[in-house]
Amino acid sequence: WVTVTNGPKSNDLGSRRDAIIRSEYLDVGQSPARTPGGSSVSYVHPSCLDETKEGSFVIGFNGGTSEGEGSNRVFVTRKPDGGEWSAPEIIEPEGSIDYGIIYQPRHNNNDTILCTYWWPAGCCGSGAYRYSTDDGLSWSDRIECPSSNLWTSGVMTTGMNHPLEFPNGDLWFAADDLGPQEGGTGHALITKVPWGSYTNTSNWTATDIHQGASVRKILGSWLVLSADYSKIMYCTRDNPDHSFTMSTDGGQTWNGWTSFNTSNNCGISTVSLSPDNESSPLHGYHLVTGSRHHILRVSLDVYVSSDPESNQWNKVLELNKLDSPPKVEENADPTIFQSRSDEGKVHLLFTGRGGDNLKYYLLDAYELCGVTATKSARDKMYDNNSGILFRRQHNELRIGFDAVQSKGSIKIYDMRGKTVFNRRIGNSSVVHITLNTLIAGNYVVQVRRGNSVVQKHVAVSQH
């Protein structure tokens, strides 16, 4: 039920067409997925994707036979590192729902994957979530989000896009209150989840960033985009366009709304590249992707900016470009994010609103942003002799491998020669090691892979 294409297809257009590495079409209608009544899933919308610290990919989506049909459920499909997509399984068996977010936090040593959604009915319902601590293999019971009078339903939601994650692990989800019916006026809200509270809602809070001012005719699909961690963009889809508001004091105050200088006005998703790594050539670049609404979504467009505050966006891709308007709307509600294992890659997922396909693209971030000065360095990222790459970022050590498929091991020794970390490795291309479990001091990391043995010194500071 999965079709893979290497490189761009004939209907992928734009000045950065060479940035398309691979695309996959997941035909859910041809998969074993079934509604509670036993029907094939002929409708998927919306959906969300994330890459886990173990190298797996997890997709969550709303599936049924039509957008408003009562058999819709939360489905999840998972592709382990080096494996294939599993058959989609229902993880929310009760009630008609609308889907929200799959996300695993990047900072701190935490294995929690969050799956959030609206329950029991549609995107005006109450927020709920389940979580996984075993890389998406199993999920907790349903947990309701906390009560809040900022939402008409009386319960918080977390919106439809990946959160802004701060270096301390706090999550800010851009949400909204659509009012009594979709398309009504609403408010720009932020649901705040502190580190350590991913599975415990007692410390969750929410704010109305404009103190009660409505956001015209909103239609969902919100995201917080970070220029850095003091300047924050809050982006929203409304009619007739996309809009954003800026905070330059870490979210304490917000300015008025400004329309994006893009042609999109539906299904928005945004990401800031390498926000934690000022030495990265991608730091300071930002992406927005979305599609048109009410004229049928004939393409999914990607825009790049190095100056989002000035509202300067350059359209570089038109994905899945259709020659004529489709019978049903396509190219809906994307999720775009930077790979956690390789900053040079960007993942993009979107859905055919009236169809049964999930559409996934793997993009080259350097090509997408036109950062040509780094290409030669990227091509030589592996040591010519060992094929092993060490990359350190904050409290995480990433060890990458080239095409060598031999098994091996990773050990960490302290300066007295005591083994403080020991892990066997299989065919994974990237291994993540969190260093904040070690006391401050100097260590030796030894990697064995096939006939190669490489050692590196690593200093761990006080946390």
Question: Phi and psi at residue 452, in whole multiples of 5°?
Answer: -95, 135
In angstroms, the CA 274 to CA 367 distance is: 15
Residues pairing with 132 in the sheet: 113
Q: Which two tokens stand for residue 97?
A: 């729902």
The tens digit of pLDDT for each residue in 389-436 reads 777 666 678 787 765 556 788 999 887 788 999 988 876 667 778 887
Look at residues 345, 312, 344, 317 and name the one whose alpha carbon lies nearest to residue 331.
317
Residue at token pair 């761990």: 460
Other C-beta atoms lying within 10 Å of the C-beta of residue 374: 15
- Global pTM reads 0.80
- Of 66-80, 153-167, 209-223, the range with the lowest mean pLDDT is 209-223
**pLDDT (tens digit per residue) in 162-203:** 999 998 899 999 987 765 444 456 678 899 999 989 999 999
Report strand pairing: 20-27 vs 357-364: antiparallel
- Strand-pairing partners, residue 455, are 446
